[in-house]
């Protein structure tokens, strides 16, 4: 059973369009991180959200943490070919002791020029 479900699994859109990727769970997370991964490379940290309802912006990327800290979304405005990659959400269930990340299934995004 996957603890974190991401949707969609695959997304291919034209340059300039907007998109939203979702990350859902039945578990409460003390913090949630979004990563982007290129083929053959390790995940690169984009953002960490920790407070229910929190919204963070990173240029054209907007990240939101659900009020109940069980879900998150990533919205990209005016997508560019450089946004192409595998987007992974990862949550930490407890801040007490182990900070191991539980990763979602990933969303593979392709931006067509």
Partner 1 sequence: DTGVSQDPRHKITKRGQNVTFRCDPISEHNRLYWYRQTLGQGPEFLTYFQNEAQLEKSRLLSDRFSAERPKGSFSTLEIQRTEQGDSAMYLCASSRTTTGGWYEQYFGPGTRLTVT
Residues that bind partner 1 (CB under 8 A): 4, 30-31, 33, 35, 40-45, 48, 50, 88, 90, 92, 95, 97-106
* Minimum separation from the CB atom of position 81 to partner 1 (A): 22
- How far is 13 from 106, CA to CA, in rounded Å? 17
- How far is 31 from 41, CA to CA, in rounded Å? 24
CB atoms within 10 A of CB 52: 13
Q: If DSSP codes are grouped into helix, strand and coil, which group holds residue 29?
A: coil
The DSSP letter of residue 83 is G
* Minimum separation from the CB atom of position 41 to partner 1 (A): 5
- How far is 20 from 28, CA to CA, in rounded Å? 21
Phi, psi (rounded to 5 degrees) for 106: 95, 150
Cβ closest to partner 1, residue 17 vs residue 41:
41
* Minimum separation from the CB atom of position 104 to partner 1 (A): 6
């Amino acid at each position: 059973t996957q603890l974190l479900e991401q949707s969609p699994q695959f997304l291919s859109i034209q340059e300039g369009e907007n998109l939203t990727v979702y990350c859902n769970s039945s578990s409460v997370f003390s913090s949630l991180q979004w990563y982007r991964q290129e083929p053959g490379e390790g995940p690169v940290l984009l953002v960490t959200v920790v407070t229910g309802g929190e919204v963070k912006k990173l240029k054209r990327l907007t990240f939101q943490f659900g009020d109940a800290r069980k879900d998150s979304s990533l919205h990209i405005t005016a997508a560019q070919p450089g946004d192409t990659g595998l987007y992974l959400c990862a949550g930490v269930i407890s801040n007490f002791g182990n900070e191991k990340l539980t990763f979602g299934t990933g969303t593979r995004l392709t931006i067509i020029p």
